[in-house]
Structures are given as structure tokens and as C-alpha cells.
Structure 1
Amino acid sequence: MTPARPKITAEARRARLGPRHLLTPATRAATPEAVADALVALHATDPATVYLAAAARMGNASVAELERALYEDHSLVRMLCMRRTMFVLPTAFAPVADAAAARAVAVRERAGLAKVIEEQLGFDAQWFAATQEAVLAALAARGEATAAQLADDVPDLKSQIVQAPGKPYEARPRITSRFLGVLAAEGRIRRGRPLGTWASSQFRWTVAEPHPELAADEARAELVARYLDAFGPATTDDVKWWTGWTLTDTRKALARTDAVDVDLDEGPGHALPRQLAAPPDPEPWAALLPGLDPTPMGWRHRDWYLDTGHKAELFDGTGNIGPSVWWNGRIVGGWAQRPDGEIVTHVFADQGREAAAAIEAEAARLTAFFGDVRIRPSFRTPLERRLSA
């Protein structure tokens, strides 16, 4: 008879979540590097998410500490990797993410742009290679440059393509951003300091050191092991979704780890052996997490921490989560920043006095971190729009 798989309940998963993701007061980190390491990577599609996700998990968060890690020590790096999403992750782990995910993404990005510019502009592979070298030479000469400065140095980057021809939303952008995005995806250049505040999406560019070459199969196994360490237990579908891999590659990578099969409320899953023991009772905790925070975006199956009846309020039409309020391992509401800087929260159901006080304290911490900076999430959700009005 086949032995029964260990059962890990939703309650046990929620008990692990706060300490593991550095969300309880006692487990908050001292550095942004520790935050990124604990979560594998921080979502960076919206630049503000990086800062707000780190601030929620640090005892004494500051913009200066994030800027040190990103732009001075370069101990954190911004990369297009898992499921073609922008992340910030520890520089030491970047070669693994590159081999496991980013390399394949970069190949698709280059092929897609090359096809468009050849069909619309007549630029061939020889032009692509020559323009790449011209951009790298311009960056080496300048040390750091904006996209506009690079387009002045390499005028072909000002060439325009047509997107969605004949549609009401037809656009004719320059190829500058996409071309630089390909070079960044390949690890040839990297984003430097933003042009505006820490919430700005416009960056300066610098030449990057290439990542060491790692074997893809080994890198995928290491990435899955790190994912399970941060987010396990998880289903095969969770791993496949988070990485952006095929089902075959996902199963192969899981098989190369020491994960064991377990039963979850949503079906079969995988956990590391040390995750089988019952977790200790965590201290009560509240958190105000930003849109696209890595915790709510860590799993495809979210019923164990999110009431599905609230999904329409918290997510946009393409599955991006907005700002969320958490209490003891569950999403219980949302928040927004108003134009005057006030942080407004909404809780779907009364969670009691202790929760209300903890949420209020987190709102005060967040207000202090923002200071004079005002943001609007890149992906807006129904609840965030209402609260920010």
C-alpha cells in the first residue's frame, strides 16, 4: 500500500507565511538584500513596488538603503526573468535566474523585435549587431546615459514602428525603449538611477557585466528549490505559473530537488522536508503590501489566503493585484494613497480591535516612508481607484 502523503492545512500555511516573508514585527529585516533573499525576488514592473515591498519588511526602512543596494553596491539587480516579468533580486543569485529563465526570455525578446524592425524598417541582423555595438560604445564613453541621450548618439534608435495599425489605440513609438530592453534582457546593459523620484519608471542606463554561464537544468532546479523555500508548500501549477516554464520543464526541475509530495486543500503539492513539521504559533501581524507585491503574487492558487469573493475588488482585468491589507496570513482589505498623501485603508469585515490598531500602525509607518512622494499604481484596481479618489 502506498503511504499517505503528509497533509499541510491552509491554517499551517498561513502560520508560516508571516515569519517566512518577514512580515511579523520580530522577523523584519535590517537590509533590502535580506528582504529580496527571503522572497527570491521582488516584483519590479512597477518601480514603487520594490521600495514599498522592502519597506513593509524592514525594521528601519529608508529610500537611501534601497538606493545603496541598487545603485551603489549593486548587491541587488533589476532583471527581466521569470514569466517575462521585471524583478529585483540579489546579484549573487542573478546567474541562476539568468540561466533558468532570463536567457530564454531574452532570445524571444530579440527575435520579436528583429522581426518587427525588419518587416517595418528593413533593418536586418547586420544592422542589429552594428547598432548594439554602437549603443555599448556610447554607454562606455558616457558612463551613464538616458534613453534620449543614447538615441542622440545612435540616431537609428529614433526610428518609429507602428503598433496596432488601424486600431483606435494605434501608436507609433520609437524603437529606443524596446532595443534597450533587449540589451538589458541579455545582460549587456542595466538600469541605473531613475530620472525622477524612487517611484519613477524612467531610468539611466549603464554597461553591465555579463552573467556567468550556468547549465539551464541545474539552474532551474536551484530556482525551484529557492522558490519552495520561500513559498512552499506549493502545487505544480503554482511553480509552473511563477516561473513561466512549460509543464515538462517544471516537473523536471521539481524532480531534481529534495521536495516531497504533500496534500494541500487544493490538491497534490510539494514541500521541502523541513516544512512538514507543524509551525509554531506566530505573533499577530498586519501588513500593507503594495500592488504586485511578491507575497500575494507568489502562487497561482490563492484561496488559502484570499476570499475569492474579494478578487474582483483587488485585482485588475489581467490578474495584477493592487495594494492589499493583511492580517495574520489573510488578505482582509486594500489601501490607497490619496493626492494629499493620506493612506486610506478599507477592511472587508471587522477583524477586531487588535487588528484595527495594527493596521493603523502600519498605515502610519507607510505614511512616514512615503514622505512627500506621491504614487499611482501602474495597474489600478477597483478598490484602489475608489479609495484614492
Structure 2
Amino acid sequence: MTPEPLTAQPRTANMPPALTLTPERLRAWAWHKQGLDGSLAGCTSEQVFAQAGWARSVGGANPYLTLFARAGIRREQVDADVLSHRILELPTARGCTYVLGRDDCAWALMLGKDAGEAFRVLGRLGVDRGEITLLEEQVLHTLAEAAAPLDPRQLKEELGDSVRNLGEEGKKKGATTTLPTALGILQSQGRIRRVPANGRLDQQRYAYELWNLPPSPLDDDEARAELIRHYLGWTGGATFKQSQWFTAFTVAQSKASLAAAGAVEVPTAAGEMLWMLPDDVERLATFREPAHEQIQLLAGTDSLALLRRNAAELLAAEDQHTNALGSLALQADLPDHPIFDRGRIIGLWQYDPGRERIVPWVFHAPTPAVTSRIAEVEAWIREDLGDFRAFSLDSPATRQKRIDALAAAAAGSAAAR
């Protein structure tokens, strides 16, 4: 049944006037909602992901920095949390992979990419559904007999001829064998889980083990409403379009989910309408913006920017027109990692492992607080990670052009001052 068109809910008692919801205030509000103001200090990994949002995982270091920036959690503890299954890496919203707390796993898996979509590619290559079903059962049997998690190569060796090579035509369609589809279906059903082969989240090598996660008691509509409720809590408010980008819901699904979550529509000084949770509307009306610097270096895929893909809104108006910044200000996803002060992007950075240092470009003269935080994150990367990879294929060689560009921009800004 198609839901009725969603209309703005009644104004709450303490609805803030639109003129007060300036870009500056909304940046500081999002900063607070993300726990980057120190409010999540001392929290566990699970608590950070529950409050600030799941950490996007693409074989990069974002999950580690997400936890270090908000709660000071070091890599050793994060890896221990992964090993003990307190946090897990799963495909969920839009079929993308995130690191999240175990309490969210069952309903979050329901939001992952439809397993049937992956099979449709195999169907066009002449693979019968029964063949994949049989392979799934053989995978489960093999993992049950294994003394430790098995990576795809080991599984392929164990399964032998049960895994079919799909030849050149399969390569063209991104399906070289039938094994990845079987693994994807089993993972989406919570019957197996993918674990880092060496225990680290920033190195794209995985193995699989049995899981048998109990199914969520929620139905599909309830799971979508749960995601919207979490999403609006993580962001502090988002436009309809931004929520659709993150969730990949249809217009009808988005409207139904917002209504089920009790979301209200709030006008801003810029003329946008933000959907917010009623409790957050009340809190925003009395929210006090931080008076002093709060500096953080974050990953380009940090939830603060990624959940709404609004990097341009996180720049001050004068910085959007900085010559050296150029078209970067117009990009939804910045090519470098951002430096923030209370929700405003004040610079960009990359890590140069050869010199074991961060290469920053701060748009204006760096304050002692900025210099100090850069040094702290630089030391953390050296001691905990060794390098800071943005994604699985990131390497010192591939990022050298960006490192050089940042160094040149920083030199130009210093000369201009």
C-alpha cells in the first residue's frame, strides 16, 4: 500500500526561529551530535557507533580515527573489540560496508543490498539458482569443519569443482566465479560473517566464519524506520535528499520512514528544510555553541561529512572562494582528509609514511591548538597504524600527487600571510 504524502508535522513548543539556524550554528550542532566536542570521551567503541553513526569501511583507517577522535580509543582496543565481536564489519545501508556495534547487526543486515540482485548477474551467465543454493550449503559445511576462519582462496581450494569459473564473460560482468555471490548471500542472511584476516580493519584481507545471527524481530518497514531514526539522531537533522542518499530508500519508503520516526520539518536560515527528531528540535532551541577552539583531524569518510555528503556546507563562505581550494569546495567528497574546528573545515591533510608526518594545509594561520592536534594525530598514526590509508587501494605512491598539492597550497598560503 502506497503511503500518504508526508507533510510537515506540527511545530514543537521550542521550535527555533529559522533565522537563528545559520550555517555556523548548524555546523556546531552537527559537531556536537557527532560527539566531536568531547561528549563521547570514555565511551566504548559500541557506544561511539551508536551515538555518532556507523563508520564507513572501505579497507581504510576511518573506523580507527572515528573512535580515536571521539573517545581516544587506541587501535589495540579496537582490534580487541573486533576479535570479541563487540563491533563488526557488515554490508548494510545501500549495500555499503560499515563497522557497527553488535546490537545493531540483525536489523542493519536487513538494509543491505538485495542478495537477489547479485544472483541476477549470474543468471545471465547461465548459473542456476539451485547451483548457488548447493554451494551455500557446502560453504557452511566447510566452515563448520574448519579450525579457523577461511579466506576466499582457502575456501575455493576446499570446495574444488563446486566453485565454477565463469570465464571471460564473467570477468566482464565482475563475477569471475560463483563463490563471491554465495558468500554475499550467506553474509546478508547472518549465517556467516567476514572477519579481518590479520585482525586489522585497515587492510583489505578477509576470512569467513560461521555466525548464525538470530533474525531481527523487525519487518522491512520497521527496519527502515529504525535506520531513519538513527540517521537523524547521528546527523542532528538532514534534508530529504540527503537522507535518501544515505539510505537508498525510494521516495515512498522515505516518507513512510520519516512519518514512522515522528520526524518534523524545520526551516533554516538558508531556506532549506531539515527533517529532525522532535527531541533534537527541543535541544537545538537551547543549544549553546562552543566558545573555544575544538580541533579534530578526521578521515574524508568520517560520518560528519559522509552521512550528508555536504562538505561545501562545512566550509566558511570565505574559504569556499579560496583560489587554492578552487573546485574542491564544490565536491561532495573531498579528495583529502579534513581538519575541523567546531564543525567548520579549516584545512586538509594527508599522511606521508616515508617521512612519518602529516602534510597539512590550514587555510588560515594555524593556532597553537591546531598545531598541537596535528602533532597528536601524527604521533598516533605512527604508533598505532604506521600509515593512514583512505581506502583499500590507497598507497603512498597513489597519494603523492595530493601530498605535493597540499604542500604547495600550504606554502602559498604562508607566503600570502
TM over 0.5: yes
1:63 aligns with 2:69: no
Query: 1:314, 1:324 within 8 Å by CA — same for their partners in 2?
Result: no
Matched AA of 1:324: P
Query: Map of 1:305-316 to 2, 5 A cutoff?
Result: 305-306=314-315, 310=325, 312-313=327-328
1:258 aligns with 2:262: yes
1:262, CA displacement in angstroms? 0.6
- Specify the SS of the correspondent of 1:326: strand
Q: 1:322 to 1:207 in 2, by over 3 A?
A: farther
Query: Map of 1:118-129 to 2, 5 A cutoff?
Result: 118-120=123-125, 122-129=126-133
Q: 1:333 to 1:27 in 2, by over 3 A?
A: same
Return the alpha-carbon distance in structure 1 between the equivalents of residues 360 and 333 of structure 2: 20
Q: Which TM-score applies when normalising by structure 1? A: 0.84
Return the alpha-carbon distance in structure 1 between the equivalents of residues 16 and 108 of structure 2: 31
Matched AA of 1:295: L
Q: Which moved more, 1:19-28 or 1:280-289?
A: 19-28
Runs of 5+ consecutive residues of structure 2 not aligned to the other structure: 1-9, 405-417
1:294 aligns with 2:294: no
Matched AA of 1:159: N
Q: 1:320 to 1:117 in 2, by over 3 A?
A: farther
Runs of 5+ consecutive residues of structure 1 not aligned to the other structure: none
- Specify the SS of the correspondent of 1:68: helix
Query: 2:79, 2:199 within 8 Å by CA — same for their partners in 1?
Result: no
- Specify the SS of the correspondent of 2:98: strand
- Specify the SS of the correspondent of 1:190: strand
- Specify the SS of the correspondent of 1:154: helix
Query: Map of 1:298-337 to 2, 5 A cutoff?
Result: 298-306=307-315, 310=325, 312-313=327-328, 319=333, 322-337=336-351
* Counterpart for residue 361 of structure 2: 347
1:157, CA displacement in angstroms? 2.6
1:263, CA displacement in angstroms? 0.7
Q: CA RMSD in A?
A: 3.2
Matched AA of 1:280: R
Q: 1:176 to 1:203 in 2, by over 3 A?
A: same
1:180 aligns with 2:183: yes
1:80, CA displacement in angstroms? 1.0
- Specify the SS of the correspondent of 2:360: strand
1:152 aligns with 2:157: yes
For residue 77 of structure 1, the aligned residue among 88, 112, 136 is 88
* Counterpart for residue 192 of structure 1: 195
Q: Which TM-score applies when normalising by structure 2? A: 0.79
Return the alpha-carbon distance in structure 1 between the equivalents of residues 298 and 101 of structure 2: 20
1:261, CA displacement in angstroms? 1.4
Return the alpha-carbon distance in structure 1 between the equivalents of residues 174 and 225 of structure 2: 41
Can you list the C-alpha shifts for 1:47-92, whole angstroms capped at 9, x where unaligned? 4222222222222x222211222221x1212211112211111111
Return the alpha-carbon distance in structure 1 between the equivalents of residues 388 and 313 of structure 2: 33
1:126, CA displacement in angstroms? 1.2
Matched AA of 2:272: G
Q: 1:165 to 1:191 in 2, by over 3 A?
A: closer
Query: 2:166, 2:177 within 8 Å by CA — same for their partners in 1?
Result: yes
1:364 aligns with 2:378: yes
1:44 aligns with 2:50: no
Return the alpha-carbon distance in structure 2 between the equivalents of residues 191 and 295 of structure 1: 26
1:236, CA displacement in angstroms? 0.8
Query: 1:288, 1:324 within 8 Å by CA — same for their partners in 2?
Result: yes
